[in-house]
Structure 1
Amino acid sequence: MRAGWRWTVCAVTVAVLVAVPFAVRYAPVSTPDTGPAALLARMQASRSTPYQGYAESSGTLALPTTDQLNDLSTLLSGRTQMRVWWRSATDWRSDTLTPAGEHSTRTTSAGTLVWDYEDNRVGVSAPGAANTVRLPQDTDTLPPALAARMLSEATADELSALPARRVAGRAAEGLELRPSDALSSVGRVDVWADAASGIPVLVEVFGRSADLPAMSSTFLDFSDAAPTAGDLAFTAPPRARVRSVARTDFVGQIARFGGPRPPETLLGFTRSTPGAGLATIGEYGDGVTQLVVSAVSAQLAGSLRDSLRLASGARELPEGLVVSVGPLGLLLTTSRGGTTWLVAGTVTADGLARAATELGAVAA
């Protein structure tokens, strides 16, 4: 064989080998045509199904960076890489990779252990209370958790089928949710579920009139095999500091303020039953249309207002200071009685303005 032909054969061989993964990924996928309503039912039935894998989530929700919202801003505006082993809501482990290292979380019915690589510290906390309002965490962006939140109140008339595709090398069936609520700032949610198990493996959330997802989460490696005890085992590293910690975050700071209680209804939504110690925080809405409302102290309001004014898209309206980041909206508004309210959720600017008007009538 002449040298020229040998190089040609080598080049073709390399090209074929390189193309194989892409061919597998984009090859036509054959799945049963069950319809979007039936697929939604399969996804909902899979919530108790164990799984494991490696997932990445990415967000374009460039929230303003504040002392209170720094972790949330990082989670919703960057890339999060996680390895997860999931048996149930009270029996799982996840490892989140960060630029500085990683942190590992082990949750059981007895509580949660969180190891921070950089500080070599293990925090031990008691189980979280039911109906707890809190800021999103890493594992809330995993495809199964994000899909459960987004599709919780979906109706058949809001659903349509999407073409099947391969996710993490496995066949996946898709559906699209287009919210019918005119107040929702979410334009659509696309979800693909593993054809074998029904577990959501890819989720994309779009704002209104947006071509790119505001938040996406996908498995790059996935198995519906149940994790073993060895997978979930957690042992504190040598010389790690082990400390009991209380669950405190921005929501806890607001709850301790003890301001007036939010109204029982807002924008036509009935307030959800608050958890223990959260009587001053109001949670409203369902599915993709959600609102959280609370009165805030003058000191916290001043700090937030200074930070929010620096955010891209911040606007001073008659109803208050509004920041819209994709489908997420933040509002600081002061009622006639002098109470400052913080409103956050996935409602349109018109919805935020209406909420401000209704909160203006709440007695201090």
Structure 2
Amino acid sequence: MSLFDRRPALRWVAPGAALAVVVVGTQIATRLPADAAVTLPHITAAQLLTQVESAKPQALQGTVSVSMNLGLPSLPTSMTGGSDSAQPLSWLSGTHTAKVWYDGAAGSRVALLGDGSETDIYAISTGVWVWNSADRSVEHIAPPVVTGNHRQHPLKSNSTGTTADSQALTTPEGVASWALQQLDATTAVTTSSNVSVAGRSAYQLVLTPKTSGTKIGSVRVAFDAATKVPLRAEVYAAGASSPAVSVGFSSVSFTKPAAGNFDFTPPPGAKVTVQQMPAKPSANSLSSLGLTAPTVTGTGWASVATGTLPMTNPNVTEGDSGQGSPQRTSNSATSMTQLLKLLPTVSGSWGTGHLLSTSLFTAVLANDGRYAIGAVPAQTLYTALAKH
């Protein structure tokens, strides 16, 4: 059982399915303005972790500030989708805002706000719904069909973490959950000066990798002093004095959201795509999508995930979705092809491909579809690919 499973309070506001790689979900923002230190009763790191583990989920609503500063090259609007908040590449740079609502079994909702557009992600009793106002599209992931009396609520995580990670890009809980999974012998855990986040006093936990084989220098998580809910998470690159990532509440209220915040019915004329969530994801279900389950090598902060992606046709052009393929899928494939062309070509005994290197993580996509990703230097990925 992982630490994430033992600490359910750390993931209560993160329902659905996200960017596929947890490491990417941890690197989203530049630092929010620093708050003045506050005076709180002294507790040790161990005491804080114990209190976080025993904390009960809290109904809340608030605004989260998200921005990105990973040292990536500027991406053209045609690739990022401009103000379309549903396009993942649009969140790789700039500053973004999300609204969040949570109320236990009633549901969870995150609204990603764009310039003139909005993408809402609902995790409610009828499944996961994703509404994109830019193109009036709806994606519905229906609850799994199960036999017997047992039915898994869509807010609950399955063994793969699929439903737990969808909003890691937009909530402090998503970053905090990933970081706290790293608590083992390779991590030094301390506390630093208490802070004020969104007007609330908070204890700050600092996780520092003991290994030099990672690009991450430290992770700081601020927990609300009263509720122990994560209010802000910051990720620092090794040797950096300011964070490369910060996801935090700019305003938060621990009051029960109105029930209407969790109601969703596709608007008239919306394009609806329906998928059935498998009762238990398996290697066969991944294979049907052209995917293979990733293999993880190494430990802790220096671990590497390797796997194989389905290869897309580089000749597919935007506006030509192909028979039976949604327009958005074609556009996404085109954007990824364009992105790869901007990345340097690398080669070695493992093959030839393209390298994406940021301040916090590195990824390699080989021409044959194999990939490797981790918060490690490129050479570590090359070594892993040579064995995959």
TM-score by length of 2: 0.66
**Structure 2 residue 299 is the aligned partner of structure 1 residue 291:** no
Gaps in structure 2 of 5+ consecutive residues: 1-33, 82-86, 144-153, 316-333
Deviates more, 1:285-294 or 1:89-98: 285-294
1:253 maps to which residue?
Answer: none
Query: Could you list the per-position Cα deviations for residues 224-263 of structure 1 after superposition, in whole angstroms to 9, with x for gaps in the alignment?
Result: 33334234333555x3526243389xxxxxxxxxxxxxxx
> Aligned equivalents of 2:94 and 2:237: distance in 1?
17
Question: Which sits farther off after the overlay, 89-98 or 197-206?
Answer: 89-98
Q: Alignment partner for residue 52 of structure 1, among 47, 52, 61? A: 61
Correspondence for 1:183: 213
| Equivalent residue, structure 1, for 2:358 | 325
How much has 1:216 moved relative to structure 2? Answer: 1.0
CA-based RMSD: 3.6
Q: CA-to-partner distance for each residue in 1:155-189, whole Å, 9 max, x for gaps?
A: 48511111111100010110111122443321111
1:21 aligned residue:
none
Question: 2:160 & 2:107 partners in 1: Cα distance?
Answer: 19
Q: Aligned residues: percent identity?
A: 24
User: Contact 1:207/1:213 (CA < 8 Å) preserved in 2?
Assistant: yes
In 1, the alpha carbon distance for the partners of 2:124 and 2:303 equals: 29
Counterpart residue identity of residue 158, structure 1: A
Which of the residues 308, 319, 333 maps onto 2:340?
A: 308
Task: Tell me the SS of whatever aligns to 1:158.
Answer: strand
Higher strand share: 1
Query: For 1:65-110, what per-residue CA distance to the aligned partner results, in whole angstroms no more than 9, with x for missing partners?
Result: 6999973332232323111111248821122210132122221143
SS of match in other structure, 1:141: coil
Matched, 1:277 2:285: yes
What amino acid is the match of 1:234?
F
Contact 1:72 1:135 in 2 (8 A): no
Does the Cα contact within 8 Å between 1:202 and 1:218 map onto a contact in 2? Answer: yes
Between the aligned partners of 2:226 and 2:385, the Cα distance in structure 1 is 46
Judge conservation of contact 2:294–2:307 (CA < 8 Å) in 1.
yes
| 1:297–1:103 CA distance, 2 compared to 1 (3 A) | closer
TM-score by length of 1: 0.70
Q: 1:47 touches 1:144 (CA, 8 Å); kept in 2?
A: no
1:167 is matched with 197
Counterpart amino acid of residue 282 in structure 1: P
Partner of residue 90 from structure 2, selected from 47, 54, 74: 74
Is the alpha carbon distance of 1:346 and 1:101 closer, same or farther for their aligned partners in structure 2, counting shifts above 3 Å? Answer: same
Gaps of 5+ in 1: 1-24, 249-272, 360-364
TM-aligned CA distance change 1:222 to 1:325, over 3 Å:
same
What is the letter of the counterpart of residue 308 of structure 1?
L
Structure 2 residue 170 is the aligned partner of structure 1 residue 158? no
Deviations 1:45-67 (Å, cap 9, x if unpaired)? 44733322110111123378699
Give 1:309 deviation, angstroms: 4.8
Does the 8 A contact of 1:131 with 1:275 survive in 2? no
Alignment of 1:1-364 (within 5 A): 26-46=35-55, 48-61=57-70, 62=72, 71-88=87-104, 91-127=107-143, 130-131=159-160, 137-155=166-184, 158-237=188-267, 239-241=268-270, 243-246=272-275, 277-278=285-286, 280-284=292-296, 288-296=301-309, 307-311=339-343, 314=344, 316-318=346-348, 319=350, 320=352, 321-333=354-366, 340-359=369-388
Closer, same or farther: CA 298–116 of 1 in aligned 2, 3 Å: closer
2:244 counterpart letter in structure 1? A
Tell me the residue number matched to 2:8: none
Tell me if the contact between 1:315 and 1:323 (Cα under 8 Å) persists in the aligned partners: no
CA 1:114–1:168 in structure 2 vs 1: closer, same or farther (change >3 Å)?
Answer: same
Matching residue of 2:19: none
Instruction: Answer whether contact 1:187 1:208 (CA < 8 A) is retained.
Output: yes
Closer/same/farther in 2, CA of residues 316 and 330 from structure 1, 3 Å limit: same
Please state whether the residue corresponding to 2:342 is helix, strand or coil: coil
- Of Structure 1 and Structure 2, the greater helix share is in 1
Q: How many residues align?
A: 304
**Match for residue 256 of structure 1?**
none
Higher relative contact order (CA 8 A, sep 6+): 2
CA shift in 2, pair 1:230/1:91, >3 Å:
same
